[in-house]
Structure 1
């Protein structure tokens, strides 16, 4: 259910099927962690920005890891 007051953070219908290679996704995740490491926990805007950004990066990283696992299964590794 989506209303003007609600829009999901992740919309599978609009999600891209492109994924970066694992090494790039992992480097981006590390940069993401460093970027928000000093965020002020008492600043609602900073925490919201960090949470959304981390959610998106984590979703990407999990998708890349799932793709790598599928590739390993197919190759018999």
Structure 2
């Protein structure tokens, strides 16, 4: 068993990644669709492309969820 602690930087840290600007749902949805289209052609066998796709999609998903929460008053 490995007892060493592995250090890493998470994709999202709520304490340091707080957003002051939240787009409208319409804008967030348009951006999410654009990123989906852009990342759909990423090469599955290219590690760097997959990392960029994952990060881009994660960022857009967070933006969309924030917009939906704002619209719902949460």
> Do the two structures share a fold, i.e. TM-score over 0.5?
yes
- TM-score range for the pair, normalised by the shorter chain length: 0.7 to 0.9
In 2: Cα distance, 1:50 partner to 1:43 partner: 11
In 2: Cα distance, 1:4 partner to 1:49 partner: 22
TM-score by length of 2: 0.82
Q: Which runs of 5+ in 1 are unaligned?
A: 72-77
TM-score by length of 1: 0.79
The count of aligned residue pairs is 69
Higher RCO (Cα < 8 Å, 6 or more apart): 2
Q: For each residue in 1:30-64, what CA deviation from the matched residue of structure 2 results, as whole angstroms up to 9, or x when unmatched?
A: 10001111111111111110001101110110111
Cα RMSD for the two superposed structures: 1.9
Secondary structure of the residue aligned to 1:19 is: coil
Runs of 4+ aligned structure 1 residues displaced above 4 Å come to none
Structure with greater helix share of residues? 1
In 1: Cα distance, 2:51 partner to 2:43 partner: 11
Corresponding residue for residue 59 of structure 1 = 62
Corresponding residue for residue 28 of structure 1 = 31
Q: Which runs of 5+ in 2 are unaligned?
A: none
| CA-CA distance at 1:5 after TM superposition | 3.9
